[in-house]
Chain A
């Protein structure tokens, strides 16, 4: 297995461990064994022709983090588990492609470039999420409306551009 494969396994395990520890700490020992089982299946499914099934653990882990946070699990642990799961999902997808590289050197270069871009994105995401969890900000109706309109315009612009470029292709 390439290095990105090991990194995927580490991220998936990290996500499961964080969620299990949070469950144990919150007094849900029965729920603690589920994330490791899921992570084990995720890692096992990699490279064994279970492409579709391998997509399943990530949404389950994400939903479990959200349900856990509502059930009283530690929020930082759940956020860590969520970020690790997202990293594992991305690395698994990339591993599927990078194994088609002509040689190990090319694959290693591509993995390095990919990780150099992935880590800042995850860091920014984690930081924003942490701010969302721990910094209390009260937004007025006008500010909320403005943010909503901004999001909607951005999304519509993106969709329109995608359609135009799709037509050109």
Chain B
């Protein structure tokens, strides 16, 4: 019995009470049309809907704000259904851009119907609920509501910024040719040193100027090898790092930077791993190429901040996930206690680059109250202290200002940490 039937039943009751109170049958006579209407509804009750429902998306992975077409195909595998209303369970995190997820029609037995609508949304994993089907009698009083679960997921991937090649200097590289200077002599283009000539050295490597100074020895130039490196990207998803009026936008900036860095490192041929350090440990094992890029983008699509008391500090960062002496890139707004842990990790042999969006450079979200000048000053001082401590310890810190074009500002922040600084001095 739906709300309409309940209303009509209540009205019949009111009319009956009025009749009894007035000892007059005429008000009860007025209930006759309502009773006839209710009776007709009961007699024309619809059968239980037996439907084959299929839902398809134009793409299963899209960028933020990109329209995605949803197509629903429903076939009636049961008896004929009159006045049937379909309502698709669009995730609340998505916005319907075009069309309507609701559809009204009549379905004869064996007939099929198809309709489309378009949705768009922000970064995340969006899962559809079932299709709600309201089959009604023509009086609208004895309808049946059924749910047809159809599992559909849309991954809205994080946006990416175009970054130029990023200079890193890990202490250990892998055996394949790549763009990272390997701190070892071999073939390359960057001058590494000079040694005594050995049989088999090509003549173009001879250092004639030096050889001419010593009549008994011939010298040859050595170049620095260029190899691919192991890079671990750590995304800070601790809720405590985002205590800011625009915390959502700040975390989105962190995710965007992580996706852009992963894209750049993989494009350069490096082996990249990802760890989202927050209320859970979401990780992507080290790998190369486009498949790895997709894995990382999918992991970042579902990343969100959260509280886990065991992981409030970076002390419990599982460094064993990353190869020893590899390059770590931490993308985080930084907390005051982080510098100590990061310095200890550098002591373990990791080269660390911190890409840190500056919360002080962000405008509060629309409608949000701007923080007081004193609070801003305290936050700025605290951040300056942390960044200075990290730089003193030889870590590279890209201080990313978020008040301008994010791509340019991230680029310029990384440029300030050229080779020789971001990994610390060669050891």
Contacts and interface: CB of A to CB of B under 8 A. Distances in A.
B184 to A, nearest CB: 69
Interface in B53-110: 82-83, 85, 100, 102-106
A141 interface: no
Given A114-B83, A124-B36, A169-B144, A129 B30 contact: yes
A100 B102 contact: yes
8 contacts: A62-B30, A78-B30, A97-B136, A118-B139, A125-B33, A128-B33, A128-B35, A169-B145
Interface in A75-123: 75, 78-79, 82-83, 86, 90, 93-94, 97-102, 106-107, 109-110, 113-114, 117-118, 121-122
A86 B35 CA distance: 11
B85 A97 contact: yes
Size range of the chain A interface in the assembly: 35 or more
A168 B48 contact: yes
Contacts of A130: 29
Contact of B103 (A63, A100, A158): A100
Given A100-B85, A165-B48, A93 B26 contact: no
B28 A86 contact: no
A67 B18 contact: yes
Interface string A13-32: 00000000000000000000
Contacts of B106: 109-110, 113
A132 interface: yes
9 closest residue pairs by CB, A with B: A125-B33, A125-B36, A132-B29, A129-B32, A100-B104, A66-B27, A128-B32, A117-B138, A121-B40
A146 B36 CA distance: 19
Interface of B: 1, 4, 7, 10-11, 14-15, 18, 22, 24-37, 40, 42, 44, 48, 82-83, 85, 100, 102-106, 115, 136, 138-140, 142, 144-146
Interface in A32-74: 55, 58-59, 62-63, 65-67, 69-70
B11 A59 contact: yes
Contact of B37 (A63, A107, A125, A133): A125
A93 B293 CA distance: 52
Contacts of A62: 11, 14-15, 30, 34
Contacts of B15: 62, 66
A125 B34 CA distance: 7
Given A97-B83, A100-B102, A117-B40, 7 more contacts: A65-B30, A70-B27, A79-B30, A102-B105, A124-B40, A132-B29, A133-B29
A125 B140 contact: no
A53 to B, nearest CB: 14
A64 B34 CA distance: 15
A72 to B, nearest CB: 11
Contacts of B14: 59, 62-63, 66
Most buried by A among B29, B31, B34: B29
A126 interface: yes
Contacts of B140: 90, 93-94
Contacts of A132: 25-26, 28-29, 32
Contacts of B136: 97
Contacts of A82: 30, 33
Contacts of B7: 55, 58-59
Nearest to B35: A125
A66 B24 CA distance: 11
B108 to A, nearest CB: 12
A69 B28 CA distance: 11
B191 to A, nearest CB: 72
A20 to B, nearest CB: 17
A144 B60 CA distance: 65
Contacts of B40: 117, 121, 124
A69 B26 contact: yes
B139 A121 contact: yes
Nearest to B22: A70
B37 A93 contact: no
